[in-house]
Amino acid sequence: MTRPPVPRSRPVLPDTDAAAVPLIEGMLQRRTTNGPFRPDPVSREHQHLLMRVAQAAPSHFNSQPWRFVLIEDPATIAHVAGISGQSMTELIEAGAFFERYRRYFRFSEAEMEARRDGIHIDHLPGPLRPFTRQVFSDAGLKLMRQLGVPKKLGEDNRKLVAGSPLLLAALLDRTEYRPGELSGFYSVFGLGAAVENIWNAVGALGMGIQFISTPMEIPRQWQRVRARLHVPEDLELMAVYRLGYLPGGERRPTIDWNSRHRKHLGQFVSREVCGVAEEESPAVSSQMSAKSPRR
Ligand SMILES: Cc1cc2nc3c(=O)[nH]c(=O)nc-3n(C[C@H](O)[C@H](O)[C@H](O)COP(=O)(O)O)c2cc1C
CATH fold, domain 37-261, is NADH Oxidase (3.40.109)
Distance in Å, CA 19 to ligand 1 centroid: 29
Angle at 66 between CA 63 and CA 68, to 5 degrees: 150
User: What pLDDT was estimated at residue 238?
Assistant: 98
Tens digit of pLDDT for each residue in 96-150?
A: 788 788 899 898 899 999 999 999 988 877 777 776 777 677 787 888 888 888 9
DSSP, res 270? B
Distance in Å, CA 220 to ligand 1 centroid: 23
User: Looking at the chain, how many residues does it have?
Assistant: 295
Q: Which atom of ligand 1 is nearest to the CA of 260?
A: 27
Tens digit of pLDDT for each residue in 210-248?
A: 999 999 999 999 999 999 999 999 999 999 999 999 998
User: What pLDDT was estimated at residue 283?
Assistant: 60
Contact 96, 217 (CB under 8 A): yes
Give residue limits of the domains in the chain. 37-261, 266-295
- For residue 71, name the pLDDT band (cuts at 50, 70, 90): very high
Q: Which atom of ligand 1 is nearest to the CA of 30?
A: 27
Of the ranges 7-21, 93-107, 148-162, which one carries the lowest mean pLDDT score? 7-21
Task: Give the gyration radius of the chain's Cα atoms.
Answer: 20
Pocket test for ligand 1, best of 29, 32, 242 (most atoms within 8 A of CB): 32
Can you tell me the distance from the alpha carbon of 237 to that of 172, in angstroms, rounded to the nearest whole number? Answer: 7
List of residues 6+ apart from 250 with CB closer than 8 A: 2, 3, 4, 5, 35
Distance in Å, CA 158 to ligand 1 centroid: 18
Buried residues in 200-231 as b, exposed as e (16+ CB within 10 A): bbbbebebbbbebebbbbbeebbebbbeebeb
Distance in Å, CA 17 to ligand 1 centroid: 30
**Following DSSP, what letter does each residue of 118-150 receive, concatenated?**
SEEEEE--GGGGGGGGGGGSHHHHHHHHHTTHH
